[in-house]
């Protein structure tokens, strides 16, 4: 068959169109594949924590392990550090915010724990309290600072002058009802760790008599009693109780007497109020009173069951 010039032109043009379409299709396919290959994974970060090895030490560390996103990454830690790994940490909670090159953000939080020493107890939040045996009783050596009940529900508590810096040294302040976690029973666990409880008025008397107070003095109420016993309960007084003089919070919200007085609730009610112990810095006696309402916030020391 003989082809005309028009046939040749048509076939050539058709062939060029086919080649062009195939080329464009291939190019688009390559572009599509190229774009898909370059999409980064979602930015994420995991934290690897190493706990403190010595009680109240500072050899803990946390490393941020980043995946996805587009490098380089920047790090902003809750303690102000900006490196991938933070070191020389004491026990506590640490968080980081990671940003990549296109400002994607990922965040994570972890906890650095400290070992529980032999003579200590941990509360529901992991706070560690050294303990001391005085006579036949085992007491916490520090004021309670837990912020949750034994079932992990939040409770209302206070730190002196609402200043978080005071918590570690002086502990927190609790109203009687909160400390007892709703119970009215003597020796109730309250907000103490499992196996511990809020000491009763009689358990306080046992402590005081062991330290030298007479039984007759121990029974006196709304007065200061037992010369020398208050001094033994203070820091450096030899008993190991180490009173911290954490002050108080009134039922109308004011704070007073930090470093001057220690007020400690017992688990024993007295009419509409409850018995408490009072220690005054530099005073050798111990006060036993039931005059303040239960919505005053005082310190709590737990005693072992």
Per the CB < 8 A criterion, the answer to whether 277 and 285 are in contact is no
pLDDT at 34 > cutoff 70:
no
Calculate the average pLDDT of the chain.
89
Strand partners, 75: 98
State how far the Cα of 67 lies from the Cα of 40, in Å rounded to an integer. 10
Query: Quick one: pLDDT at residue 52?
Result: 83
Per the CB < 8 A criterion, the answer to whether 291 and 273 are in contact is yes
pLDDT at 71 > cutoff 50:
yes
Average pLDDT of the segment spanning 44-59: 86
User: Distances from the Cα of 185 to the Cαs of 93, 177, 181, 296, in angstroms?
Assistant: 35, 11, 10, 19
Average pLDDT of the segment spanning 188-217: 98
Q: How confident is the model at residue 51 (pLDDT cuts 50, 70, 90)?
A: confident
Average pLDDT of the segment spanning 198-207: 99
Query: Quick one: pLDDT at residue 6?
Result: 47
State how far the Cα of 59 lies from the Cα of 49, in Å rounded to an integer. 11
State how far the Cα of 191 lies from the Cα of 178, in Å rounded to an integer. 8
Average pLDDT of the segment spanning 138-144: 97
Q: Which of 108-117, 124-133, 260-269 has the lowest mean pLDDT?
A: 108-117
Q: Which of 31-40, 135-144, 248-257 has the lowest mean pLDDT?
A: 31-40
Please give the full DSSP string across 220-287, using - where no structure is assigned: --SEEE-TTHHHHHBTTSSSS--B---BEE-TTS-EE-TTTEEEEEEEEEETTEEEEEEEETT--SEE
pLDDT at 302 > cutoff 60:
yes
Mind listing the domains of the chain with CATH numbers?
A: 44-112 (2.60.40.10), 120-304 (no CATH)
State how far the Cα of 274 lies from the Cα of 251, in Å rounded to an integer. 14
pLDDT at 98 > cutoff 70:
yes
Taking the whole predicted model, whether its pTM rises above 0.85 is answered as no
pLDDT at 49 > cutoff 50:
yes
Query: Quick one: pLDDT at residue 39?
Result: 79
Query: Quick one: pLDDT at residue 164?
Result: 94
pLDDT at 35 > cutoff 80:
no
Average pLDDT of the segment spanning 9-38: 50
Q: How confident is the model at residue 26 (pLDDT cuts 50, 70, 90)?
A: low
């Amino acid at each position: 068959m003989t082809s005309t010039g028009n046939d040749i032109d048509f076939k050539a043009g058709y062939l060029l169109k086919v080649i062009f379409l195939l080329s464009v299709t291939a190019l688009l396919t390559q572009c599509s594949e190229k774009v898909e290959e370059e999409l980064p994974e979602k930015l994420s970060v995991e934290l690897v924590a190493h706990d403190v090895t010595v009680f109240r030490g500072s050899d803990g560390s946390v490393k941020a392990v980043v995946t996805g996103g587009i490098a380089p990454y920047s790090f902003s830690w809750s303690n102000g550090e900006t490196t991938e790994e933070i070191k020389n940490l004491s026990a506590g909670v640490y968080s980081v915010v990671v940003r990549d090159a296109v400002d994607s953000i990922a965040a994570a939080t972890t906890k650095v724990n400290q070992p529980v020493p032999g003579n200590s107890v941990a509360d529901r939040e992991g706070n560690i309290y050294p303990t001391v045996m005085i006579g036949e009783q085992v007491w916490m050596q520090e004021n309670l600072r837990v912020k949750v009940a034994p079932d992990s529900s939040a409770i209302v508590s206070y730190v002196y002058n609402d200043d978080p810096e005071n918590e570690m040294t002086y502990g927190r302040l609790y109203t009687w009802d909160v400390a007892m976690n709703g119970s009215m029973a003597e020796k109730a666990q309250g907000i103490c760790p499992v196996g511990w409880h809020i000491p009763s008025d009689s358990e306080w008397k046992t402590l005081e008599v062991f330290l030298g107070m007479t039984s007759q003095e121990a029974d006196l109420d709304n007065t200061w009693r037992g010369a020398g016993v208050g001094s033994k309960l203070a820091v450096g007084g030899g008993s190991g109780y180490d009173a911290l003089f954490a002050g108080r919070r009134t039922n109308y919200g004011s704070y007073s007497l930090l470093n001057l007085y220690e007020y400690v609730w017992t688990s024993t009610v007295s009419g509409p109020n409850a018995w408490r112990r009072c220690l005054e810095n530099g005073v050798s006696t111990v006060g036993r009173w039931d005059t303040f309402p239960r919505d005053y916030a005082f310190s709590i020391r737990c005693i072992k069951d």
